[in-house]
Amino acid sequence: MKAIILAAGKGTRMFPLTKNTPKSLLDIGQGLTLLETQLHSLQEAGITNIVLVVGYRAEQIEAKIKEYEKDFEISIVFNPFYDTSNNLISAWMAKHHMTDEFITINGDDIFDSIVIKDLLKSKENITMVTDVKDEYDSDDMKIVSVNNLVKKVSKKVPIEEANGESVGIIKFSGHGPKIYTDTLEEMIRDPENLQVFYLKAIQQIINRGFPVHQSICNEKDWGEIDFHPDLKLIRQYVSKTKLVDRIFEK
């Protein structure tokens, strides 16, 4: 099993913090970066084969991961179009790493290892990690699910219709990798798709009748950094869970 982390974007909504630093290297507490928390949680779940799709300030990420070469097998994929495209392109750039089962992860996610451990239990071709909240907002990547199958996934899903949220972590196994890469390869040929989220590919897969299952996690077991208030909440989480202490004990 490998994990493909999509971390090429500029993170403009986090300026000025990301003006000279990629979002994945933001300090989320006690000197620990977002990327390091991801690596730690993946390692706890038994995954050490990592593919990093980078773009913005790529040299900083490449320098950071040198500290982890002993414990991980890390491959770098550079997306030269990070400044003019969305993350569908980053996913497509990594397609040659999608030959066997794998997990894709948003580069701005922080998650407990239990999220990955529960996801790995799924035997389905495609399984999306989701959570359920009391309220959703317009910026949430909302979903509509029926009988544990995802039917819609988009920020444009009406709030009143949403009954879940995409966490930004998806597992592909069995026929899943081919279904996904075939879809990416087709979509990349349409210029309109240069500016879309990779989850549009998941919606297209659903529209074609392929089932996308869900692995529901506790909303307290993950977070994402989109805006400045998110970083404050993440730092509180890191302090409360003593994540830094757990990492440096290893």
- Per-residue pLDDT, 250: 47
- Residues 30-44: pLDDT tens digits? 778 999 989 999 999
Where the chain has pLDDT below 50, the residues are: 247-248, 250
- CB atoms under 10 Å from CB of 99, counted, come to 11
- Rounded Cα–Cα distance for residues 78 and 52 (Å): 8
pLDDT at 103: 98
Query: Tell me: the pLDDT tens digits for 87-106?
Result: 899 999 999 999 999 999 99
* Residues found in the chain: 250
pTM comes to 0.92
* Predicted local distance difference test score (pLDDT) of residue 1: 94
The neighbouring-strand residues paired with 5 are: 52, 105
Task: State how far the Cα of 12 lies from the Cα of 22, in Å rounded to an integer.
Answer: 10
Please report, as a single letter, which amino acid is at residue 169.
Answer: I
